[in-house]
Chains A and B, each alone.
Chain A
Amino acid sequence: AQSVTQLDSQVPVFEEAPVELRCNYSSSVSVYLFWYVQYPNQGLQLLLKYLSGSTLVKGINGFEAEFNKSQTSFHLRKPSVHISDTAEYFCAVSGTYKYIFGTGTRLKVLA
Chain B
Amino acid sequence: EAGVAQSPRYKIIEKRQSVAFWCNPISGHATLYWYQQILGQGPKLLIQFQNNGVVDDSQLPKDRFSAERLKGVDSTLKIQPAKLEDSAVYLCASSPGRGETQYFGPGTRLLVL
* Residues of chain A whose beta carbon lies under 8 Å from any beta carbon of chain B: 32, 34, 36, 42-46, 49, 90, 94-104
Contacts and interface: CB of A to CB of B under 8 A. Distances in A.
Given A90-B42, A90-B43, A99-B48, A44 B55 contact: no
Contacts of A100: 45
Nearest to A94: B99
Interface residues on B, range: 20 to 34
5 contacts: A36-B104, A46-B102, A99-B48, A101-B35, A104-B42
Contacts of B105: 43
Nearest to B97: A97
Given A42-B106, A49-B101, A99 B91 contact: no
A18 B106 CA distance: 30
A39 to B, nearest CB: 12
B14 to A, nearest CB: 25
Contact of A45 (B42, B48, B104): B104
Interface in B71-103: 91, 93, 98-103
A99 B48 CA distance: 9
Contacts of A42: 106
A111 B103 CA distance: 31
Contacts of B42: 90, 101-104
Nearest to A32: B99
B56 A97 contact: yes
B55 A99 contact: no
Nearest to B95: A99
A103 B38 CA distance: 11
Contacts of A45: 104
Contact of B56 (A36, A46, A49, A98): A98
B33 interface: yes
Given A34-B101, A43-B107, A45-B104, A104 B45 contact: no
Contacts of B56: 97-98
